[in-house]
Amino acid sequence: MANYLISFPAAAMKVPAEELAAVGEAAREVIREAKAAGVYAFGGGINADVAPLMVAPDGTVTTETYPQMKEFDGGFCVLRLPSREVAILWAGKIAKACRCSQELREFGDDPES
């Protein structure tokens, strides 16, 4: 079993305002299905109202981020799945519910974490 990150940036979700409630319910239904299947680890959305912080090795805190992470927003979930093929199926379910493509990444396995 491996952990898979399934995510999308907020800008990818181009849904008319009057359809947002239906999209939200469809997404929650997939998450309920993942929970019932016992594969759901956790998920949510990046809170765009709270600025990211950079914490340096010496403990210094600044209000910045890595340049490539400036657009890190949107929604995500982590599922614990037996294979990449199964992860692709779940990403497809989430893509259909959210009406936008999903990025799929596998976490590296570290037995100490």
What is the predicted pLDDT for the residue at 48? 84
For the whole prediction, is pTM greater than 0.75?
yes
Instruction: Quickly list DSSP for 9-61.
Output: -GGG----GGGHHHHHHHHHHHHHHHHHTT-EEEEEE--TTS---EE-TTS-E
| 113 residues of the chain, pLDDT tens digit each | 999 999 998 889 899 999 999 999 999 999 999 999 999 999 998 888 888 899 999 999 999 888 887 778 889 999 999 999 999 999 999 999 999 999 999 999 888 87
What is the predicted pLDDT for the residue at 51? 86
- Domain 2-106 in CATH: superfamily? Dimeric alpha+beta barrel (3.30.70.1060)
